[in-house]
Amino acid sequence: MPLNYSDKDHVLAAFERRLTSRVPVRVWYRLGDFDESSGLSRKELRTSGEKFAQYLIWNHKELPSDILTIPVGDAVMIAEGAGSELKISMQEIIERARKGLPLLEDKSLFRSFNLSDLMAGKRLPYYCQASGIVAGEAAGTAIEASSYAPWTMAGIIRGNENMIYDTADDPEFVHGLLRFTTNLLKQAALEIGKTGADMFTFSDPAAGCSVISPPMFRNWAMPYLVEVVEFVKKNSKLKIGLHVCGKVDKIMEDLIATGVDAISIDSPSSLEKMVEINRGRVVIIGNVATELFLDGSTEQIEEAVRQCVDTAAPGGGYILSSGCDVPGTKQNILHFLQYGRDYGRYKKP
Amino acid sequence: MSLDQIKQSVILGKMEAVRDLVASALELGIGPGEILDQALIAGMVEIGQRFKEEEIYLPEVLFSARAMKAGIEILEPVLVETRENTAGTIVLGSVKGDIHDIGKNLVAIMFKSHGFEVVDLGVDIPPEKFVAAIKEHRPLLLGMSALLGTTVGQLEKTIEVIKEAGFREQVKIMVGGAIVTESYAARIGADGYAADAVSAVEKARDLLG
């Protein structure tokens, strides 16, 4: 056992249920929160994998979590995946993404759900380049690639409300769309797995009980999630994470049954219940309330850290984290990271 | 055929059944206002309550709202002739940079279910567009949603712009979204906050007296 653990050691130890000297600590933050001081332009970030990697590393130095997250996937990658099967131009898709509209709201735009070779396009290679550079330069940090899960990605394409109606009105279309997103994510995770990343986390904000019902999760989101998780585990060394926003108490057992290695829960869900149900089967990540990063006091943040650590850290297999994406209050994020590392020291037996 | 059958069909989200039953009810001479209030709205109110109590989930609400809308489409031609005032106009929108709309849409459904006229501006709405909507529609209340940490600051900014434009005293402002809290709403100068769509209607009624 090393005397001086790296941040990455703490994270990987959690996956092996080993205790290092402290609980690993991470914050989910969205790119764009802190970009102005980086000296890079948004255009550079979006077009150059190298610049994107530079930005991620710069951002990590500003807010040094134990996990550095590379967000993978966007409208362009989805459009490249659909390729010649679409009756709409790439520019139109980008424009719809900018306006926050469903990318392919009109079902007839899909000729078929065949997937193109993403590595023959530009976008997945861009993410792979960034991941490779980051994995090399931030070697002491756990590197996580993160993308939407099949159900949520399908909702981005079709629009969540439309897709919910489709499950009753046109189930075959939904299955076709989910087949497309599942195959796309398999390919993306497989390629990212070759770049030196440690983890791949599927984010499924539209699959929680705040958006769909438990039966709908089981019938629609879960089967495709299980398929992609099994595929990635079989074909890469990546640890697989799953994050679902909002309330998940009624599907916690289902989340574990997806076969992922780690589950990240949001603050509306019960960490205590997750620990109780889990019985050490998966790494638990979470679930400090995001609003505390926005306008919480130092004392409130410390109290939340203590509650989470006391509830989930004993015995290991836990990563202290914000429940979801956090607002950009740098001072609160830094205090959370520092206090989490201090309070999260494992007690010596 | 009874009003309760229509109400139950709304609750079960049976769009075709609601359409047919509403048409039959009109043929039988039942008043459109009665059908609206005692069947369609009553069904949605019950659905809203079940949703608030976490007995049902968002998809059930959406299917019921769609069924109610199908019924209203049948009623509308006759309803316009007989119905007088609505409960008032509400303007809704997700703030600039925020493209999430399910929560906001749900709030719109609930307000419509309670007889309000809703002007839904959509997502990614800059402050100036909210100001223009206040100017044009003269709403009793403006509801803004921000789901993301990165966009929540737009709530405060929009309120400031509304103040600067001189419209702040003319409209009540409510805010909501996953990370918004009551204390945050108060700090940025909103009149109210609601954690969910049903509470939003209750809070709005309190604010509007």
pLDDT digits (tens, 9 = 90+) for B17-45: 999 999 999 999 998 888 988 999 899 88
Residue A32 pLDDT greater than 60, yes or no: no
Flag whether A1 is in a domain.
no
Which residues of B fall within a CB distance of 8 Å from A326?
Answer: 149
- In terms of Cβ atoms closer than 10 Å to its own Cβ (0-12, 13-18, 19+), residue A134 is buried
Residue B1, chain A, CB below 8 Å: the answer is no
Residue B96 is predicted with a pLDDT of 87
Confidence (pTM): 0.86
Query: Are B184 and A33 in contact (CB < 8 Å)?
Result: no
Neighbours of B160 (CB within 10 A): 14
- Nearest-angstrom CA–CA distance, A27 and A333: 7
Nearest CA in chain B to A294: B149
Lowest mean pLDDT of A192-206, A226-240, A250-264, A284-298, name the range: A284-298
Query: What is d(CA A253, CA A258) in angstroms, rounded to the nearest whole number?
Result: 9
Residue spans of chain B under pLDDT 70: 80-85, 148-150
Model pLDDT, residue A349? 47
**For residue range A104-116, what is the model confidence (pLDDT) as tens digits?**
778 887 767 888 8
Interchain CB distance below 8 Å, B102 and A209: no
Cβ of A327 under 8 Å from any chain B Cβ? yes
Interface check B46 vs A, CB under 8 A: no
Q: Which residues pair with B72 in a beta bridge?
A: none
Torsion of CA A248, A249, A255, A256, to 10 degrees: 150
The CA distance from A180 to A227, in Å, is: 12
* CATH (domain of A121): 3.20.20.210
Asked if the C-beta of A330 comes within 8 angstroms of chain B's C-beta atoms, the answer is no
B109 reaches A (C-beta below 8 A): no
Residue A56 lies in a domain: yes
Contacts of A290 in chain B (CB under 8 A): 149, 178-179
Residue in B64, B94, B179 to test binding to A, most A beta-carbons within 10 Å: B179
Our separate counts of H helices and E strands in chain B read 10, 5
Q: Report the pLDDT value the prediction gives residue A107, as an integer from 0 to 100.
A: 83
Phi, then psi, of A345 in degrees rounded to 5: -65, 130
Beta-bridge partners for B174: B143, B192
Question: Minimal Cα distance from B56: which residue of A?
Answer: A213
Contact B149, B185 (CB under 8 A): no
Q: How confident is the model at residue A327 (pLDDT cuts 50, 70, 90)?
A: low
Predicted pLDDT at A31: 61
CB pairs under 8 A between A and B: 79
What pLDDT shows up at residue A41? 81
Residue A64, domain extent: 7-343
Instruction: Return the amino acid letter for B206.
Output: D
Min Cα–Cα distance to chain A from B60, Å: 8
Q: Which residues of A17-56 are buried (b: 16+ CB within 10 A; e: fewer)?
A: eebbbbbbbbbbbbbebbbeebebeeeebeebbebbbbbb
Element (H, E) at B69: helix B58-82
Is B149–A325 a contact, with Cβ atoms under 8 angstroms apart? yes
The beta-carbon neighbor of B150 closest among A160, A161, A327 is A327
Q: What is the pLDDT of residue B33?
A: 83
State the best of B57, B123, B196 to mutate against chain A, taking most chain A CBs within 10 Å: B57
- Which residue, A3, A44, A26, A20, is CA-closest to A198? A26
Q: Which of B114, B108, B3, B12 is nearest to B59 (CA)?
A: B12
- Write down the residue that tokens 């600039």 correspond to: B96
| Number of domains, chain A | 1
Chain A interface, best mutation among B16, B60, B98, B102, by max A CB count within 10 A: B102
Could you tell me if residue A2 is inside a domain? no
pLDDT tens digits for range A131-188: 999 999 998 999 999 999 999 999 999 988 899 999 999 999 999 999 999 999 999 9
Residue A2 has pLDDT above 70, yes or no: no
Mean per-residue pLDDT, A57-65: 91
pLDDT reading at A125 higher than 60: yes
Domains of chain B: 3-82 (1.10.1240.10), 89-208 (3.40.50.280)
Question: For the segment A64-100, what is each residue's pLDDT rounded down to a tens digit?
Answer: 999 999 999 988 899 899 886 667 777 888 888 777 7
Which residue of chain B has the CA closest to A296? B184
CA dihedral A38, A43, A47, A49 (to 10 degrees): 0
Q: For residue A183, give Cα distances in angstroms to A117, A225, A253, B139.
A: 10, 11, 25, 47
Cβ atoms of residues A14 and A319 within 8 Å: yes
Nearest to A59 by CA among A29, A86, A85: A29
Cα(A167)–Cα(A175) distance, integer angstroms: 9
Q: What is the pLDDT of residue B149?
A: 65
- Count the residues in chain A: 349
Q: Does B144 touch chain A (CB under 8 A)?
A: no
Q: Under an 8 A CB cutoff, do B152 and A327 touch? A: yes
Which residues in chain B are closer than 8 Å to A160, comparing Cβ atoms? 102
The per-residue pLDDT for range A336-347, each reduced to its tens digit, is 999 999 999 987
Q: How far is A2 from chain B (nearest CA, A)?
A: 38
Cis peptide before A219 (omega within 30 of 0): no
Rounded to whole angstroms, the Cα distance separating A160 from A151 reads 9
Residue A165 near chain B (CB below 8 Å): yes
Higher pLDDT residue, B52 or A250? A250
Distance from CA of A95 to the nearest CA of B (A): 13
**Could you tell me if A319 and A26 are in contact, meaning their C-beta atoms sit under 8 angstroms apart?**
yes
Yes or no, beta carbons of A216 and B124 under 8 Å apart: no
Q: What is the distance in angstroms between the CA of the first residue and the CA of the last residue of chain B?
A: 37
